[in-house]
Amino acid sequence: MTLRQIYIDLGANVGDTIESYRQKNPDAFVYGFEPNPRLAQQLRARFSDSGVIIFEKAAWILDGIRSFYLGHDLSSTLIDGKRPMPDYPEFEITYQEHVLVETIDIARWLLETFTKDVRITMKIDIEGAEYKLLQRMLDTDAVDLVDEIYCEFHHDRFPSVTAETHQRIVTEIGLRSALKQWR
């Protein structure tokens, strides 16, 4: 028996990774999470006839409302204190400029939505929030539902994330899911 393919894109941005996954897995059921209101609107338009479900929510550890700090479409974040990248000033965050976004507890959502009778691939690119999210998935065992995780880690961009924390999360997640560093 072939398990139903599920693709979950946390930080879906403009949807290129969704499109790429769908080309290889046309029968997969796809969920995209994108808190940037402008990008979420573009995603809904791009995938309006495709069955892709787009949530205009930030992947997080709690359900609620939170400040989402805007910058370049590839650098906006829920997390305070992102270090500047002098070589890439276009990726700077304006912490004075934010929008309030709805957040979703991804671990809770996974546990309420899926069982092990599906095969889940998850892409995570959430600009520093990945550490708290992955820790929550470990703490709740939601990680055990996810077969593959492609994650862009930002440990070098946030002073609140130590090298030890990064390595511990990578090791613990890698023991329970096939973890691949994305990008």
CA distance linking residue 65 with residue 77, whole number of Å = 14
- Looking at residue 93, its pLDDT comes to 84
Asked if 119 contacts 3 with a C-beta cutoff of 8 angstroms, the reply is yes
Higher pLDDT, 62 or 160: 62
Tokens for 92? 């700077």
Please report, for the chain, the start and end positions of each structural domain, with discontinuous segments joined by +: 4-181
Cα radius of gyration (the chain) = 16
The secondary structure of the chain in percent helix, strand, coil, rounded to multiples of 5, reads 30, 25, 40
Helix (H) or strand (E) holding 140: helix 130-140
pLDDT in tens, 125-148: 999 999 999 999 999 999 999 999
In the prediction, which pLDDT does 79 show?
87
pTM of full prediction above 0.85: yes
Q: Of 30-34, 78-82, 102-106, 173-177, which gets the smallest average pLDDT?
A: 78-82
Task: Give the three-class secondary structure for 19.
Answer: helix
pLDDT digits (tens, 9 = 90+) for 38-86: 999 999 999 998 889 999 999 999 999 999 998 877 788 998 888 777 7
Q: CB atoms < 10 A from the CB of 182, how many?
A: 13
Do residues 15 and 43 lie in contact, with contact meaning Cβ atoms separated by under 8 Å? yes
Residue pLDDT, tens place only, 72-123: 777 889 988 887 777 877 777 878 889 999 999 999 999 999 999 999 999 9
Tell whether the model's pLDDT for residue 1 goes beyond 80: no
Query: In this structure, what token pair is assigned to residue 179?
Result: 């973890």
What CATH architecture does domain 4-181 belong to? 3-Layer(aba) Sandwich (3.40)
pLDDT at 180: 97
Q: Please report, as a single letter, which amino acid is at residue 64.
A: G
What are the tokens at 122?
């998850």
Q: Which residue matches tokens 């400040």? A: 67
pLDDT of 8 reads 98
Q: What is the pLDDT of residue 11?
A: 97
